[in-house]
Every structure is written in structure tokens, then in C-alpha cells.
Structure 1
Amino acid sequence: MTSPITFTQEGRIGLILIDNPPVNAISGPFITGLAKALDRFEAADDLDAVVLYCAGRTFVAGADIASFEDPSGFSAKPFNTVLARLEAQSRPVIAALHGTVLGGGLELAMACHHRVARPDTRLGLPEVKLGIIPGSLGTQRLPRLVGAELALDLVTTGRKIGLQQALQAGLVDKVAEGEPRDIGLAAAEALLATDAPVRRASELDVSPAPADVLAKAEAEAAKKPGWPQLAAAVRCVRAAQELPFAEGEAVEATEFARLLPSPSSKALRHLFFAEREAAKIPGLPRDTKLRPIRKVGIIGAGTMGGGIAMNFANIGIPTVIVEVSDAALQCGLGLVRKNYEASAAKGRLTAQQVGARMNLLQGALDYGALADCDLVIEAVFENLALKQEICAKLGAITKPGAIIATNTSTLDVDALAQATGRPADVVGMHFFSPANVMRLLEVVRGTATAPDVLATVMKLATAIGKVPVVSGVCYGFIGNRMAEVYMREAEFLIMEGAEPTDVDAAVESLGFAMGPCRMLDMAGVDVGAKTVIEHGRAGGLPDDPSYRALVQKLFAMGRHGQKTGAGYYRYEGRAPSSDPQVKAIAEQLADRHGIVRRQSIGREEITERLLYPLINEGLKILEEGIAYRPGDIDLIWVAGYGFPDFLGGPMWMADNIGLDVIAQRLAHYAGQRGDAYGYWRPAALLGQLCGGMRLAHWKG
């Protein structure tokens, strides 16, 4: 096997080239190759310095995450030993940086004596997002280079910083334009001309973080027990400022070894791989030619439409927004401007950037303004007849080859595609609210959706910063179809005697940001009720008057959630408080529909009745081919519905609970509550997998 590391020299300077595409990830052969390159440098008495640089589009972007899953066990020690050798060199070691310098890549750079970087360079230690901490002395060298306060921020957030901040902080010594090899050689020559002694990060004093900063970080970490890596990161940075380097190294090693096999880290790594797998669509060649997207049109300037438009303006794509009235249009554009100005007030945008993005947005009252658009997305409210009417217009008005997308969250994409008269051009693009913030994009592949349409939308989604996941066509697609059974059981539990606070607290205790009642109050009780009514009429939901009776009653009473000050809760501003009237409503509905009330319902039952049917529905979605992989379902629920990432998503959670256990509990509730409508009927796939097989190993 060809080594990813080569050693050459130019004059009296050694050159270590890393060429391990696509992102120069650290692996076993990488470490072996780097050690051999150091052997050659150490044996070459005629060399005065060595430059380490990378081929391709980036410097080392981190470790090969797959190596963490090695059944024989992962150890950072081999890489750390090479880094110690690198830093101990008596002759200058220069790192020439470009692209992304992340994780182990930044730890490699910090072990060098001098760092020169191109202006496009971004640096960071994102390990916390994988449930771990830096394991190759990142928590010890970084505080010595930039101070403990900034190091604490970078290690606990995992955020990247740009070159100017890195230069100002002392993480980078020099900025230069040019090829990495050239800027590295120039930096080496300049450094040798000064005859300055080598500067080792491990020998520097730490500028300590203020006591209140450390205390605040510890308090914040304590609020997130599902992310134990945060507390570990604080302990390591504290060790860096209070202990000698060798003792801090031991603290980091202990914390890293404890975190790597933890359930939360395994779950986060599962999601890391799931996100990459979601981009691979069975039967869709990787070289599928994409349709050009130079201009986008949006139908509807409401909260959703405006948020969708911002995604495209953010990346420089001209976007036209069509509304039925000028008042609605101006209101929508005003809301977009307000959102941008709020970002500017927080320092995230400049006034010039706000102006530039607003200039990319054009308002119109006529569908003719969409004639030259390459992609048009309808974002009107959930009404099949209205959306079919709009789709018919778009089929006639948009140019040949233009993609027509619907933002429907539940409706039949195939029916909408047929309405256009050109179904091959149609795809679902289900954005989540607020559309300019939420990461998930559910891409709905219709029966007739052309391969290049699907490929184009998937690529475009990543360009606008979304996590795209493909779903087939069914009621609610993946996310909302599963959410329906979750909300169904929440309502039945309340009608049986649980309080909304009981229902929400059960899942919030697992790490959910909010339970189903608070979630629907925030999204809008009216939105939920109208969806139920729409699909009840279409025959998509059970013909049972007790089904979702509570949300329909709250809607009829004008209790639409936060926006009306009352829903499942009563609101002063956004703060929810229990409302006795909801209990009275639930009692009335229970009496009307013959539902037996109970004095109390335990948290374990609430949790099982909310989550086990949701998991079961996910299994049905898999067996029907609506979702390609269990990981796709997990991504949707974590990125779009607030499922705790440290639990890995509902399918990953199911494996950890045990599929046999879930099947048994579904049978228990079917016997206890009856199952006339198949609410508790186990998915066929659940029966097939019981007996020890894990969903993680299911390939469809």
C-alpha cells in the first residue's frame, strides 16, 4: 500500500507531504508514515528545518471516525507518541495550513513549533459533537497557545474559528497567500533567518481563565448530563492551567478513555455516520448530472415562505417571492428584514450583508415573475385543493426543466405532481419551522420524480446548510407520520387522567427539549387540528370520534397555543402554566367517548406509550420502503423534532431498549386498552428482528 506520507527535501529544508484524500484523515498508515518521515528527518544532519503540509483541498480535517469503532479498541497513544516526537525536535517544525484544520489535524498543527496559514483556513476542535474530547493533547496545548478562556470556549462548543481570530489569539503565527508547500518553505526560511529558538506549546505558561468563567462552564455542563463530554472538557482545561503538562496529559487521557465507549458518544457517532449515509440514494448514480439552480421562486411570503427564501439569499441565489396581495407581500419581506437585522444586532451579519441579501429578494404579485426560475417552491398552508390549484399554474408557467417543489408536511406529493402535468419535475421539500434555522430538510421522492431532480435538490440542500433525508410518499412522510402516533397517545393519556405537565415531563426527563403538548402549543394547535381534519376527511386517519378529539376541541375553542395565550397550557408571554380548564375539557371528552379516567398515570407508562408506538411506526415505515435506512429516521427525529442527539434517535434507542422488550410492551398495551384500529399492532419487521438482531444491522 502506498503511504499517505512522503518525505523529500528542498535545499536544507525537509518536506513532509500528507496526501490521504479526501480530507487527509488520520489513520493507522498515516501515523506509521509520519513516524517514518520523522525518522528520515532525524537522520538527516544536513537539514535545518522541516515543513509539514497537505495535498488537496484541506489540511488534516481530523481522525478517521470509523477507527473509533475498531472492535479491538481504539487508542490515541500511537498518534500522541508521534506528536511528542514532532514537538521535541531541536530544529524548527513548521505547519503550513489551509482549508479546515480540525480535531486531530489541529492537534498535529499545535505540536509543530510554527504555524503559517492561508487566508481561507478555519480551525477547531469539534470532538464534543461526537461525545468525546480531544484525545491528542488538544485540551493541554490549546490553552498554552491561546489562553484557557478561549480554549474552554472552543473545546466545549466545538465551533470553528476563522484565520483572523486564530492569528489574533496566537494559534497561528503568520498568514500568507500561495500553495501550502510554498508558504511553508517561505516561513521556514524566514524563521531560520531570525535564529530564534524553537517554541514548544507544551512549555508555555497558560493564561488562566477567570474563576467565574470556569464556574459558569461547570454549571452549564451540569445542566446537560446527556453530554458528559462537556464536564470532562472543563476538567481538562482546568488541569491545563493548574497542573504541569504531563499531569494534564494524564487527566485528558483518562477522560478520553472514559468517554469513547460511553452510550452518548456511540449515539452521536451513529448520527455522524447516518448523516453521511443519508446522502447516498439507492439507484441514484453519484455522477447524475444536476440541473442548474440560478434563480428560485417561492409561493407564499408567510413565516415559512420567508424563512425558505432566506436560505437561498444567504448563499447568493436571487429569489422571487409571490403573494396574493401587496400587504401580505410587504409584511413577509418586512419579517425577513427583521430577522436579518436581528442577526446583525448580534454581530453575525454586517449592515452591508443585510442589504446585499435583501437585494437578492424580489417581491411579486403575478405568477409570471416565476417564468425564468430554475426552482419554484410552493409554501402555502396545508390544503390539498389549494395546493393542487397552485401546482397546476406552476406546471403551465414555469420553463421546461424547472423543478417544482412542494413544502407540504403531510399531503400526497404524487397527487400534487399529477396536478402540474409534468410529475417528473416535482419533488417534496419539507422545511421545518423556522425554515431559516432548522437543519432538517425532508426530501420527498414522488413516484415519478426524475433522478436528476432528486440529485439536484439533495445537493442544493447541503449548499443551504440543511441535512437532507429522502422519504417516500405516504401520509406525513417519515417525521409527521411518526409524530401522529406520538400526539395520539399524548391526547389519550390526558383524556385518561394525566396532566399535560405529566406527559411533557416524562419525555423531557429523557432529554427532550419539550414534550408533545408544549411542542404543539408552540407550532400551533390550529395547525395540528387542521391537519387532522384535512386527513380525516380524506380517509387518511381512523374514523373514530375519539381520535385526536382534544386537539380539535381546543382548536374549536380558539385555544391555538402560544399565539393566542392558551392551548394545552395558559401563557404569559412564552412561559407555560397549568390550566384547570384543560383538565375539565379532557374529563368531558372522556365521558363523551367512554374513556375510563384514572387517578394517576406513572411516568414509565407515559414514556412507553409515547415512544414505543412511535418506534413501531418507524419500523412500519422501514418495511414499506418509505425510509431507506434506520439512520435516516434517526436523523429526521434528531434534526427536526428535538429528539435528544445523545440517545441517537428512535431507531437507535430501540436497539438499546431491546426490540423484544418493545414487542412485549406493545402487546401489553394492546391487551390493556384494546386494539380495534391497530394502534398497538407490532410492525412485521419488529417480529422478524426479535430474538437478538439489532436494527443497526438491518439492510432492508
Structure 2
Amino acid sequence: MTTKTDVVRIERDGDIAIVLLDNPPVNASTQALRQGLLAAIRTLSADQDIAGVVLMGVGRNFISGSDLKEFSGPLAEPQLPVVISAIEDAPFPVVAAINGAALGGGYELALGCDARIGAADALVGLPEVKLGIIPGAGGTQRLPRLVGVAKSIQLICKGARVKAVEAHKLGMLDAISRDDLRADAITFLRSLNGKKRLLSAAPVPDIYTDQIVVEITKALRGNKSVPAAQAAITSIQRAATEPFDTALAKERTVFQDLRLSPEAYALRHQFFAQRDAKRIPSLTEVSARDVRTVGVIGVGTMGAGIAICFLNAGFHVTIIELAAQALDAGVQRISDGYVGQVKAGRLTQSQADDCMSRLTPTTDRSELVTADLVIEAIVENLSAKQSLFADLETIVPSHAVLATNTSYLDIDGIADAMADPSRLIGMHFFSPADRMRLLEVVSGPRSSATNLATAFAVGRKLGKATVLAKSAEGFIGNRIYAAYRGQCEFMVEEGADPQQVDAALVDFGFALGPFSVSDLSGLDIAKARRDRLAATRDPMARYVDIPDRLCDAGRLGRKTGAGWYDYSQNPRVGVPDPITAKIVKQSRADKGIVARPFTQKEIVDRVMAAIVNEAKLVLQDGIADKASDIDVVMVTGYGFPSYRGGPMYWAQQLPCDELTGLMDQLQTATGHGFFRADA
């Protein structure tokens, strides 16, 4: 027997009902799905012939999560807690059979069932904090009854997505199906012998442990300025100290308040921006090529990180260096990277060993004859890259994608040396490449649409936030960052201290200040770009020579033990340096500049105005397709605070006259050479 609605249908297997959730494309928890599910549970609860129910998603997912578009206004009835209450009140046990993703409200629905069995590809978790809210349908109350308070704080505040094996180990799944999920779920359901197993009636383990304090500290440090993190911690702790119904009602109230907060609106904007960035109208009808084997040429810090990205995603990777010594060093970097991942708990030793087993190191470029994609990560030098790609073109198969990881150079200029320039695209990773989520796919004027589509498909497999950029100096991110960093250098020249600028921007929400970033990446990288552009620089435009003086003094950042900061006591933590202060003071004196004080607000206003102005120029020049792409780039690649949505979203929240005033101040402060974007 089959009963069908638009998105929910009921099938029978004897006295077992299988409720199938069919809401393509991703099985989101929409009003229609909730209505259909509630009606199905109520209908079955009135049927005395039903001994139990299996809930199962149709397609790729159980329920991928809530429909976030609903969150900006009044929530439509029935809301999820009503559906879960009906499942708990049902006279028979209900088993959630989880295929694919059960995230957010999807996993909360599963937690409201009497048991949970997952397919081998199941993925469960409560990522709401990353969207500026907390689980609002019992997640903070039921999960602690499975995994304890400490682990719940960790999982919920990290927004962790837990794979089936780990979820089973933690107790988030009761069993894993290795064959037929539907049949195994029915078998598991029958083993319950009609008995209910409600988490709402279960005790909470580890009520008072030192680990709870540890996890609270980690969670708050990792969610700076996100109110949802503290709210989630408080709600989770209530699971151990208050009656279930009381704590559940408080959870819902907090959820309802947070979903309308400025942070939640901004984070939802960022979520949709990342999704929209992958939709390229010009590539909609273009088929991507299959990529299984990847070559990486140049295995310094960046190349090693790129190799790890692909190894982690299951690709076979061949790494190339000219000299055996450099190759050995590259292999060691990759090996050390996996040691770190295992130590941090991101991979098991067997997973790391599997990754290393798919790595082929060689100094012979002819080994790339079977590669589907080759990425270069060599020195940032135009002639060197031109020579390399002219050679690669004669080695790799004609279907293979050729990609450069250049940060600034013109893609078309590199392609000029190739017989078929359409083969070349940019795939700009961000350091450390295995940790940073951004990937700029760069299109030159002659780049093949098929190769661009292939790069986007690869980006999805790597789990990257992938954005299309047109070829131009610095593309999207580095062009904006250069303007932002330049304005910070202006302020130091005018009287601000580097540490004052960094502190103001970190307080605003940036992961790091610009001078800490420069020390991390190396001051010589920016200097090489300044030297390359020196011949075309407007001699009347402002130019700060302090970074050049630091480089001339051998202060290149962390790698030399000193840059803007001193790292002699701790190679990872810089402290203000009197030598830097002396260099800054001398530069001001040579220009006759009298230092003036800066407020934190003035620093932030100047920086944000510079970022927004340059971002608008990037749009005007056609380098980025849409404003939301810029928000994705700055959040995922440059440490812009995600809870502010991105610089373009931030600017949209300001009154027009206030934004105009900031631009006026920026133009006055910068002087000759300033290019102001259209309003």
C-alpha cells in the first residue's frame, strides 16, 4: 500500500510503515514537508495495525536542514517542535533511517525519534551556531543525553558535521547500515519490540566535569563576538540542571530571538552568498571533465598545502620539483602536515597513511603524462611561469586542465607563451591551502569554459568556497587587500602604531590585523609586487617606504624572526619591536610628517571605507560578477568577520549619507592617486 502527498508518502511492510520524505533537491525542512510528516504521523498513530515507523529520506539526504529562507520572518506552522512532539507521542517506536545529511533541524528530527540508524555515507550535526542561532527544536537538550554536556558544547559550538563511523562511536547513531538501509532500519525497529526510547526521558551524563570548562573556553575563543555560542552553552548546560520541558521551552525562546538578530541575518547572507557563488550562468550548460589524477609543480609551503588538499579529497597527486633536495623537502612538508592533522584529531593515522599512499614525488615532468589537472605553485615570476606552461603543454594530455596558482599575475600574459592559451586558467589557493576555504577560479579572456567548469567541480570536491574572478592585477581578493593594507600603512606613516591598527581591526572582528598577516606571509612577497609595478606607479601618488625599509633591514616577518613585530621569543607570537618603531619614526622624519593620534573608530572607518571603495571598483571593472562574491572572498580568504556578512553587506546596512561621509574622509586622507568608485 502507498499513500502519497506532494513531499511525503507512506509505504507498508506488513505492520511497519515507512514514511518517505521526498522534497528535492536536498530534502530541506520546509513547511510543506513538516505538514506532510505531521499528517502522516497522526494518521499512523490512529492505525492500530501499525507496530512501528521508519522515517527515511528519498534521494541524497535524510533532511539536509531547515529552509533558511523561512528564518527572516514569522515561522510557518507547523513548526518543527510540533512535529517532533507528535513523533514522541506516537504509540509505537519511530526509527530515523539516515541517508546522506541529517543536519540542523534534520538531525533534531532524528533525535526526536526512538533510534537512529545511518547509512555508511550518513552525516549528522547541528551547525546552527555558525548561522548565528542555536538548535531550536530540542538539539541542545537531546544531544547531551547521548554524548554528554562537554561533547555537546564542542559539537554544537563548532557546528561539527560528523561522519557515520564517528557518529556511531559517539552515540549520535545507534547503528550503521552496511547494506540495505531500509531493510536494516526495519530489522532494528523490530528489535525494539514496540518499546519507546525517548531521549527526553533519558538522564544526562557527565553533569560536572573539568572537561566542560575546557570545552566552554575553546567554544568561546572560536566564536568571538557571536552571541549564539554563549547562548548554546547556556542552553546545553540547562539540560543537566532543569526539567526537560522547562529547558526545551527556554531553548525555543532563545532560538526565536537569535534568528532575528543582526548577526544571524549577516551569517545567512554569507551562507546564501557562498551557495550563489557556485552558480555561473555562462557555465550552466558546460560539462566538467572528470579529474582523478593531479599534478602539483613547486612544493614549497603553498604547493605542499595544495597537494594535501587534493590528497584529503581522495585524488592521486604527483608532485614535481627540479632538484631532489627540494623534492625531499616538499615530501617532508606534506608528511609533517599529516602528522599535525593526526595530532589535532582531524584525521586518523590510517586515513593519513592512505593519503600519503596516493602521493607520487618525482623530478621528472614526463610523469605528468597521465594527469587530468596540473597546478603550478612556483616562484611569482612571469617569465618562469611562461616557460613552465610552454613545456607542460607538450607533456600533459590534451584534455588536461593547466592551472596557475599565481596571486597577482595576468593569466593572459602567462598564456601568451602557449600554443593553445585556452587551456590555461587560474586556481588561486590561499595559505595554508589545506585549511583556508577560499578558491578563486580565474578566467583569462581566452580560458576554456570547459576548464573553468572543471575547476569549479574540483572546488566542490575539495570543499572550497569557490568564486569566479576575471584576470586582473590581484584578481578579487588581493586587489582589495592591497588597497586595505595600503591604507593601514598610510595610517602608520601618519602616526598610528602597527599594533594599534592590528588591535582595532581584530576588535572589529578580523582574524588577524594586516601587519600580523604581512609578517605571516612574508614582507618580501608584497615587496616583489611593488618592485614589479614600480615603473608604472604614478610618481605623484602617496607611497609609504616603511615596508621597503623593513625588507632592506632583513626583516621579512616570522621566517626571519622579525618584521613589523619581533618573534625572537616566540616564532608564532610577535611583540612590538623598538627597531620597527625606530624605522617608522625615521621614515616620518624624512618626509617631515608629524605623528598624530588615531582613535580605534577612525582606524576601522578608514579601513572599511578603503575595502568597500576598492570592492566597488572591482565590480565596476567586471573582475567580480556580483557583490556577494566579494563578501565570500573576504570572509573565507581574508579573515573578515563572518558575523558581519562581508564588506558589501556591511556597507548596505549603513545609511547612504554615512557611507558617503566615510568615502569623503578616505579620499581626503589618501590624496592624489585615489580612485573613487561610483556611488
2:88 maps to 87
Provide the C-alpha distance between the structure 2 equivalents of 1:348 and 1:400, rounded to a whole number of angstroms: 37
Moved more, 649-658 or 630-639: 649-658
1:278 maps to 277
1:426 alignment partner AA: L
> Is it true that 1:422 corresponds to 2:420 in the alignment?
yes
1:696 maps to none
2:644 alignment partner AA: L
2:205 maps to 207
Mapped contact 1:615–1:651 kept (Cα < 8 A): yes
2:25 alignment partner AA: P
Mapped contact 1:6–1:16 kept (Cα < 8 A): yes
> Is it true that 1:558 corresponds to 2:554 in the alignment?
yes
Equivalent residue runs for 1:302-381 within 5 Å? 302-381=300-379
Mapped contact 2:610–2:666 kept (Cα < 8 A): no
Mapped contact 1:76–1:136 kept (Cα < 8 A): no
Equivalent residue runs for 1:643-658 within 5 Å? 643-658=640-655
Percent identity over paired residues = 37
1:549 maps to 545
1:367, distance to aligned residue in structure 2 (A): 2.9
**Aligned residue among 489, 498, 501 for 1:491:** 489
**Aligned residue among 656, 660, 664 for 1:663:** 660
**Aligned residue among 588, 594, 606 for 2:603:** 606
Mapped contact 2:542–2:670 kept (Cα < 8 A): no
Q: Which runs of 5+ in 1 are unaligned?
A: 688-700
> Is it true that 1:131 corresponds to 2:132 in the alignment?
yes
2:48 alignment partner AA: D
1:167 maps to 168
2:126 alignment partner AA: L
2:34 alignment partner AA: I
**Aligned residue among 588, 600, 620 for 1:623:** 620
> Is it true that 1:104 corresponds to 2:100 in the alignment?
no
Equivalent residue runs for 1:453-492 within 5 Å? 453-492=451-490
> Is it true that 1:66 corresponds to 2:69 in the alignment?
yes
Would the alpha carbon gap of residues 76 and 258 (structure 1) be closer, same or farther in structure 2, given more than 3 Å must change?
farther
Aligned length: 673
**SS of the residue 2:426 aligns to:** strand
Provide the C-alpha distance between the structure 2 equivalents of 1:506 and 1:346, rounded to a whole number of angstroms: 30
Provide the C-alpha distance between the structure 2 equivalents of 1:669 and 1:545, rounded to a whole number of angstroms: 14
Provide the C-alpha distance between the structure 2 equivalents of 1:274 and 1:429, rounded to a whole number of angstroms: 20
1:452 maps to 450
**SS of the residue 2:342 aligns to:** helix
Provide the C-alpha distance between the structure 2 equivalents of 1:575 and 1:91, rounded to a whole number of angstroms: 59
1:694 maps to none
TM-score of the aligned structures, taking structure 1 as reference length: 0.92
Q: Which runs of 5+ in 2 are unaligned?
A: none
1:135, distance to aligned residue in structure 2 (A): 0.7
1:374 alignment partner AA: D
**SS of the residue 1:513 aligns to:** coil
1:28, distance to aligned residue in structure 2 (A): 0.7
Provide the C-alpha distance between the structure 1 equivalents of 2:9 and 2:485, rounded to a whole number of angstroms: 58
Mapped contact 1:569–1:576 kept (Cα < 8 A): yes
Mapped contact 2:72–2:259 kept (Cα < 8 A): no
Mapped contact 2:273–2:628 kept (Cα < 8 A): yes
> Is it true that 1:11 corresponds to 2:14 in the alignment?
yes
1:68, distance to aligned residue in structure 2 (A): 1.2
Provide the C-alpha distance between the structure 2 equivalents of 1:331 and 1:219, rounded to a whole number of angstroms: 37
Q: Report Cα offsets for 1:403-442 as digits up to 9, x if no partner.
A: 1111110011111112222111110111111122211111
Provide the C-alpha distance between the structure 2 equivalents of 1:14 and 1:264, rounded to a whole number of angstroms: 42
2:676 maps to 682
TM-score of the aligned structures, taking structure 2 as reference length: 0.95
Q: Report Cα offsets for 1:384-408 as digits up to 9, x if no partner.
A: 2222222222233332222111111
2:251 maps to 252
1:492, distance to aligned residue in structure 2 (A): 1.3
> Is it true that 1:157 corresponds to 2:168 in the alignment?
no
Q: Report Cα offsets for 1:654-690 as digits up to 9, x if no partner.
A: 112344322222213433x36221x2x4311xx2xxx
Mapped contact 1:52–1:184 kept (Cα < 8 A): no
> Is it true that 1:176 corresponds to 2:166 in the alignment?
no
2:239 alignment partner AA: A
1:692 maps to none
1:206 alignment partner AA: V
Provide the C-alpha distance between the structure 1 equivalents of 2:363 and 2:287, rounded to a whole number of angstroms: 33
Provide the C-alpha distance between the structure 2 equivalents of 1:350 and 1:213, rounded to a whole number of angstroms: 22
Would the alpha carbon gap of residues 148 and 578 (structure 1) be closer, same or farther in structure 2, given more than 3 Å must change?
closer
Provide the C-alpha distance between the structure 1 equivalents of 2:366 and 2:189, rounded to a whole number of angstroms: 61
**SS of the residue 1:558 aligns to:** coil
1:218, distance to aligned residue in structure 2 (A): 4.3
